[in-house]
Amino acid sequence: MKIGLIILGLVLSLTPLFAGELDAYRLYNTLGEEISYEQMIDALDQADIVLFGEMHDNPIAHWLEKEVSKSLYEKVGEKLVLGAEMFEADNQLIMDEYLQGFIKTSHFEENVRLWNNYSTDYKPLVEFAVENNLNFVATNIPRRYANMVARGGFESLEQLSDEAKGFIAPLPLSYFPEADCYKQMMGMTGMPGKMHADNLPKAQASKDATMAYFISRNLKKNGLFLHFNGRYHSDNHESIILYLNEYAPESKVITISTSLNEDLSIPAEDKGIADFIIVVPESMTRTY
C-alpha cells in the first residue's frame, strides 16, 4: 500500500514537468507578456474586426482559428461574421449558395477554387459557419487579377469590365510604397514569366486592399468580423490595416499573429508585431 502511494505521489509530482514539455503553444500580448486564452478572448470581444494572422501550414493556428470562432460566437452569436483570404471574391455567390443550403457539399467544393489544404484547415471554419447560420465572406481579389497587377501594375486593372471590377476594391487603388510590408518586396529577383519585380508589392497591395474592402462592406452593427489571413497580411499593423484605415476608419481592429520558437518563449523580433502572438514549437507537425 505504501509503495503504491509513493508511486502515485511521484507520478503526480512529475506530471506538471511532462505537461510543460508538451505544451503546444503559448500566448503573449504585444509587450511580450504571457497571457491566458480567456484574456485574449475577452479583449477580442471588444473589437469590430479581428485579423487572425496564421502560418498557412501550422496546425495549432488552424485549431485555434476554430476555437476562437467558437468562443466569439458564444460572446456575440449571429453578429459574428467570418471571412478569409483563402476564398476569392468572385466565388461569393457559390459560398452563399452553400451557406444557405441550396447546393451540396460536393458541388461547393468542385466549383470553388480551394486551397490544397482546405479539407484539413479551412473546411472546419466553413462548416462552423454553416452549422451556426453565419455569414462567411470571400474577401480576396481573384488571383488572375492579382497576376495582372504583377505583370502590368495597377493600371492593367482599368481594362477590366465593370462586372470584373466588382470583385476588386474600388479603382484607382491607393498605394503605400513606404510601408515596410511593401518595401521589403521591392526589387525581388527571380520573378516568373512577365512579372516585374517592382510590381510584386503592388500585387500584394491589391490583395490587401480587396480584403479590407470586403471586410468593411460586411461589417454588422455592433458585430464582430473575424478574418483569417496569412500573418504577412496583418503583421505590424500594416497591409490590410492600411486599407481598413481608409475603408472603415472608425473600426477597432485587433490582430493576432503566429510565431515559432522551440522553447515557446516569444522571439525578440516578434514582440509588437500584433496585439496577440501565438508561439508554437518549431518541431510542431505541419499540415503540408
One pLDDT digit (tens) per residue for the chain, 288 residues: 444 444 444 444 444 444 446 799 999 999 999 999 999 999 999 999 999 999 999 999 999 999 999 999 999 999 999 999 999 999 999 999 999 999 999 999 999 999 999 999 999 999 999 999 999 999 999 999 999 999 999 999 999 999 999 999 999 999 999 999 999 987 654 545 455 678 999 999 999 999 999 999 999 999 999 999 999 999 999 999 999 999 999 999 999 999 999 999 999 999 999 999 999 999 999 999
Do residues 210 and 89 lie in contact, with contact meaning Cβ atoms separated by under 8 Å?
A: yes
Half-sphere exposure of 119 (CA within 13 A, CB side): 6
Do residues 195 and 143 lie in contact, with contact meaning Cβ atoms separated by under 8 Å?
A: no
DSSP class of residue 220? P
Nine cell digits for residue 108: 461547393
In a domain, 191, yes or no: no
In a domain, 96, yes or no: yes
- What is the β-pairing status of strands 80-88 and 224-230? parallel
Packing angle of the helix pair 143-152, 200-217 (nearest 10 deg): 140
In a domain, 154, yes or no: no
Do residues 53 and 233 lie in contact, with contact meaning Cβ atoms separated by under 8 Å?
A: yes
What's the pTM? 0.90
In a domain, 103, yes or no: yes
How many other CB atoms sit within 10 Å of the CB of residue 190?
A: 6
In a domain, 188, yes or no: no
Do residues 158 and 171 lie in contact, with contact meaning Cβ atoms separated by under 8 Å?
A: yes
Residue with cell 481594362: 159
In a domain, 211, yes or no: yes
In a domain, 67, yes or no: yes
- Look at the chain and report how many structural domains it folds into: 1
CATH assignment of the domain containing 226: 3.40.50.11550
How many other CB atoms sit within 10 Å of the CB of residue 63?
A: 14
Residue with cell 470586403: 214
3-state helix, strand, coil in the chain (%, to 5): 50, 15, 35
Residue with cell 479603382: 171
Q: Give SS3 for 110.
A: helix
- What is the β-pairing status of strands 26-29 and 276-280? antiparallel
In a domain, 183, yes or no: no
Task: Domain of residue 59: give its range.
Answer: 24-141+203-280
In the prediction, which pLDDT does 198 show? Answer: 85
